[in-house]
Amino acid sequence: MALSVSILATITSLHLIAFVLAVGAERRRSTAKVMPDEYDERTYCVYGSDASTAYGLSAFGLLLISQTVVNGVTKCLCFGRGLVSGRSATWAVLFFIFSWVSFLGAEVCLLAGSARNAYHTRYRGIFGGNKLSCATLRKGVFAAGAALTLLSMLGSILYYWAHSKADTGGWEKHQNEGLGMTSADFKENQQQHEASEFQKV
């Protein structure tokens, strides 16, 4: 399998867009403040924009698509043609594991951050409880997802590159089959030649 520039461009673009969205989600995390209810003696939380949830879920989806593309092209390392044994195959396996670990970590951060950011607490307690805190997403969850997205991009690119170098393209199998046929033909011709020489004597 030859290295495809279009596949590399697709993987890189999807990861970079997901990274930008994750950074945007971190910057647009929902904020809240405690307000008194004008109708009874309770307080409630007033939340700001939920843009982080949309950004986080969009980044989650793009990252999933990118991982699907690279593993679809390489047959997820398990279902394709055999790899040439050697350094390239070893690197392909290592980068495959690295890309999946970083991908799963990024997806967990993005999904958990989006879910937590979308969770809104309404009533918090008695009137005058301004010191009570409202449920909000802690700082750094989407940032961790963004960092892991970059690591996932690096792992996916290196995995695809190493896999393309180690891919046999079916050559090794056909080569062995060809050698087997040639050896058998040679032995058969040799036996026929010896038999004809024996008959002449």
Residue with more model confidence, 131 or 78: 78
Question: Six-digit token pair at 168?
Answer: 């046999």
* Three-state helix/strand/coil letters over 24-92: HHHHCCCCEEEEECCCCCEEEEEECCCHHHHHHHHHHHHHHHHHHHHHHHCHHHCCCCCECCCHHHHHH
The answer on 83 and 38 residing in a single domain is yes
154 and 177 fall within a common domain: no
- Token couple for 124: 């918090």
More confident residue, 116 or 49: 116
In this structure, the answer to whether residues 160 and 71 fall within a common structural domain is: yes
Tell me the two tokens of residue 123: 């009533």
State how far the Cα of 18 lies from the Cα of 84, in Å rounded to an integer: 33
Taking only the tens place, the pLDDT of each residue in 30-84 is 887 777 777 766 777 778 778 889 999 999 999 999 999 998 988 876 665 556 6
pLDDT (mean) for 6-35:
90
Same domain, 161 and 175: no
**134 & 189 share domain:** no
Amino acid at position 180, single letter: G
The pLDDT value given to residue 8: 92
For 69-78, 80-89, 165-174, 177-186, which range has the lowest pLDDT when averaged over its residues? 177-186
Residue-wise pLDDT tens digits, 84-102: 667 778 888 899 999 999 9
Are 164 and 2 in contact by the 8 Å Cβ rule? The answer is yes
Read off the pLDDT band of 123 (50, 70, 90): low
More confident residue, 184 or 174: 184
**Which of 64-78, 117-131, 186-200 is modeled with the greatest confidence?**
64-78
Predicted local confidence at residue 165, as pLDDT: 81
Task: Write down the pLDDT at residue 31.
Answer: 80
Same domain, 58 and 100: yes
Co-location of 162 and 176 in the same domain:
no
* 58 vs 44: CA distance, rounded Å: 30
Report the pLDDT averaged over residues 159-169.
77
DSSP run (H or E) holding 162? helix 141-166
Q: What is the number of residues in the chain?
A: 201
Structural domain boundaries, residue 198: 170-201
CA distances from 174 to 3, 42, 167, 169, 171 (A): 22, 78, 14, 10, 5
Of 199, 14, 171, 2, give the one whose Cα is nearest residue 106. 14
- For residues 95 and 136, state if they share a domain: yes
**Alpha-carbon distances of 143 from 31, 66, 90, rounded to whole Å:** 16, 19, 31
Give yes or no: residues 143 and 188 share one domain.
no
pTM reported for the whole predicted model: 0.71
Banded pLDDT at 172 (limits 50, 70, 90): very low
Contacts with 126 (C-beta within 8 Å, 6 or more apart), sequence order: 41, 42, 43
User: What percent of the chain has a predicted confidence (pLDDT) above 90?
Assistant: 37
Number of domains in the chain: 2
Say if residue 133 is in the same domain as residue 179. no
3-class state of residue 145 by DSSP: helix
